[in-house]
Structure 1
């Protein structure tokens, strides 16, 4: 009869790679569940689970090269380094038990050596990675770019995620960028900008969920990132987000006027359109008609030159529909004669089916139509708005629900009641 070995003995004895994954997770200060969330954030999918992380760390499984790359980026490492380790681990499983045990002993010894490992010992894959963990690795350009792109994608997720859902994703991604930033200096500016953009969004979400102290802390760290990176548009983003939670109209206008100073020059057209549009919105709410119309004109002019795909990643939320929304908000607040024409044009751009364009956009369009002459169409859009705001409740949606409720015709009392429930 052949030699009998307990099930899983080889896996346990040859688990140097699992030990390495465990160390990476602990270096990042994460639980297994948090590690799974960080990997899902990098990959943009929801496939990784705590159980799978446990299987990797216990040596039951070696992740695919694709997954290894996501793990590396989530831990602030170059995927190539971790891929070499995974390849070595797979080769290790094909060796004889005696040779495997000898190599495992060497690996465990070196992994536990910590800062005693020097550059001379980094010629082997395990030596290179352990050395990198102690000295700081060089995240490759593609991994840094992936983290930055993900930060931008989060800014447009409000269209289909609630504030609570989005907040979890944002916090996990901020953790992934922070880990990468601590490990690598080669892409410090790029990662600092991505971290600041993510922190600014985290502040906005905290405000949206009624947590002002956390919002202020996030905005402060986002401003610090803008200063460290020397990136004015990030400073503008932080100021514009902070304007929503400012305590007085004068303070909101002041913050937005300051933000406008940081979006001058080429490459900032989309950001400038949003900042000037927000400035116009607050000026209109304060009854400053002429300054509001001038700010709106600056926003529209800037948007004529905008290319969201070639500018900062976070500006992608500034779609034509969002520009229309800002214009309708300003013109509606001022009861401007151009309102009807602007509402008609915005409706045509959205299409007759009124696709999921976001709670804010639908709210502004509904309000504009009700203030104008197309009441029937306005009521139709209000119903769409109620459905969207119910699915994705947020502070801006509640504010618009309250404003719209008072504009509905008397025959729509039930709809008005639904809006007031949303606003509560």
Structure 2
């Protein structure tokens, strides 16, 4: 492949988009509408235009959206790649490395016909796929995973509606659907599909309740609470976060209780209720201390480090940076670097805390790491946090390190 071929074709796409008078976000919306598959975000358009990805699958839709013939678009792509067809760079290629393949279509796996019999093997298979999706989410962002995640969920729901099963298998299958909905909702939120995330969480809540799984239902209510809190609906988020505790009941597993109290603490912090937030953090720590291995496997990530990070985030939100900086520095020093999205998010709180502590040089250094980590990441969460960090640093623009950072990343502000 000639050097710069991706960049050349990307520049051509960017020129077409500007001539059509469309923003990257608007073009992404049009592609989603045309294809019927909500997997493209403005992050993905940006990657196409900078030559980081080749949108081979999307060429027909791009041609229609940008009002150019498909033949012309394919001709320009072929010219850019020296007479060869552009390489196939599927946006979900990394996802398939987690045990999925291009030919593994969920509908064909489950049959899809009315009367399909669901047995325990099908439930076990679905649980394996949910776990793979969850592991993929540890290292990939929502924009890359949203398509596969929604396909898995839609197929599982269709299978449950069309198939036959015993009462016991039906309950376990519904419980599995609720787990899948929690993962898919989280991914949709990270992809910036806020309304879709809410719908998926509500579906999961219904499935968990029908299955009689109070812990899963509470986890989904808490996930919806966290989503609402992080998208500005603070009072709704707080109400849902406390409702999740009621949903779980007194017999909820320790890790689940810890997670639910953490979400309550965050919601209190976002509403400025410092004493209540601190008390909730204490309840989370108390719950985790009772952990004895009987928790659901999907709560594997809830540990002491995660609780410390939430505690630090609460202190940052409450403008108590001196309590947050030491904790974040210590935990992030040993954080798994393959979890790039979470690392970028947690570093963003450290950057804000350093700015609040009147350490603009160090804040700028940390912020640069955030922006570098999230530069090509199709995650709305990291985009929002990057904007928060740059806004918090702007009052320190007279500091050289801050000025250089803002100049370098003016497009992200």
TM-score range, shorter chain: 0.5 to 0.7
Quick check: 1:414 aligned with 2:401? no
Distance 2:338 2:352 in 1: 15
Quick check: 1:286 aligned with 2:268? no
Quick check: 1:178 aligned with 2:157? yes
**Contact 2:98-2:132 at 8 Å conserved across structures:** no
Cross-structure match for 1:251: 236
Residues 219-243 of structure 1, C-alpha deviation per residue, up to 9 Å, x if partnerless? 3211210221111222222222322
Quick check: 1:45 aligned with 2:99? yes
Instruction: Select which of 311, 315, 324 maps to 1:331.
Output: 315
Distance 2:246 2:216 in 1: 12
Partner-residue secondary structure (3-state), 1:311: coil
RMSD of aligned alpha carbons = 3.6
Quick check: 1:232 aligned with 2:214? yes
Cross-structure match for 1:396: 381
CA shift at 1:189, angstroms? 1.8
Partner-residue secondary structure (3-state), 2:282: helix
Quick check: 1:202 aligned with 2:181? no
Distance 1:180 1:242 in 2: 25
Quick check: 1:163 aligned with 2:142? yes
Residues 129-183 of structure 1, C-alpha deviation per residue, up to 9 Å, x if partnerless? xxxx775424234x42331243244345334323221111211221342354343
Partner-residue secondary structure (3-state), 2:348: helix
Deviant stretches of 4+, over 6 Å: 40-43
State the structure with more CA Rg. 1
Q: TM-score, normalised by structure 2?
A: 0.63
For structure 1, the residue ranges without an aligned partner over 5 or more in a row are 1-32, 34-39, 54-69, 78-132
Distance 2:407 2:263 in 1: 29
**Contact 2:141-2:191 at 8 Å conserved across structures:** no
Quick check: 1:75 aligned with 2:129? no
**Contact 1:156-1:316 at 8 Å conserved across structures:** no
For residues 262-341 of structure 1, the aligned pairs below 5 Å read 262-266=247-251, 268-306=253-291, 311-318=295-302, 320-336=304-320, 337-341=322-326
CA shift at 1:71, angstroms? 8.9
Partner-residue secondary structure (3-state), 1:261: helix
CA shift at 1:255, angstroms? 0.9
CA shift at 1:208, angstroms? 4.0
Distance 2:335 2:363 in 1: 14
After superposition, the Cα gap between the structure-2 partners of 1:177 and 1:249, relative to the gap in structure 1 and judged at 3 Å, is same
Distance 2:222 2:408 in 1: 31
CA shift at 1:397, angstroms? 1.6
**Contact 1:178-1:195 at 8 Å conserved across structures:** yes
Partner-residue secondary structure (3-state), 2:140: coil
For residues 38-187 of structure 1, the aligned pairs below 5 Å read 44-49=98-103, 74-75=109-110, 135-141=115-121, 143-181=122-160, 182-186=162-166, 187=169
Distance 1:204 1:197 in 2: 11
Residues 106-142 of structure 1, C-alpha deviation per residue, up to 9 Å, x if partnerless? xxxxxxxxxxxxxxxxxxxxxxxxxxx775424234x
After superposition, the Cα gap between the structure-2 partners of 1:377 and 1:213, relative to the gap in structure 1 and judged at 3 Å, is closer
Distance 1:323 1:272 in 2: 12
CA shift at 1:317, angstroms? 4.1
Distance 1:354 1:47 in 2: 22
Cross-structure match for 1:363: 348
Residues 274-296 of structure 1, C-alpha deviation per residue, up to 9 Å, x if partnerless? 22222212211221110010111
Distance 2:137 2:359 in 1: 28
Partner-residue secondary structure (3-state), 2:248: coil
After superposition, the Cα gap between the structure-2 partners of 1:201 and 1:48, relative to the gap in structure 1 and judged at 3 Å, is closer
**Contact 1:155-1:317 at 8 Å conserved across structures:** no
After superposition, the Cα gap between the structure-2 partners of 1:416 and 1:282, relative to the gap in structure 1 and judged at 3 Å, is farther
Number of residue pairs matched? 309
CA shift at 1:217, angstroms? 2.6
**Contact 2:143-2:378 at 8 Å conserved across structures:** no
CA shift at 1:75, angstroms? 0.9
After superposition, the Cα gap between the structure-2 partners of 1:345 and 1:212, relative to the gap in structure 1 and judged at 3 Å, is closer
Q: TM-score, normalised by structure 1?
A: 0.62
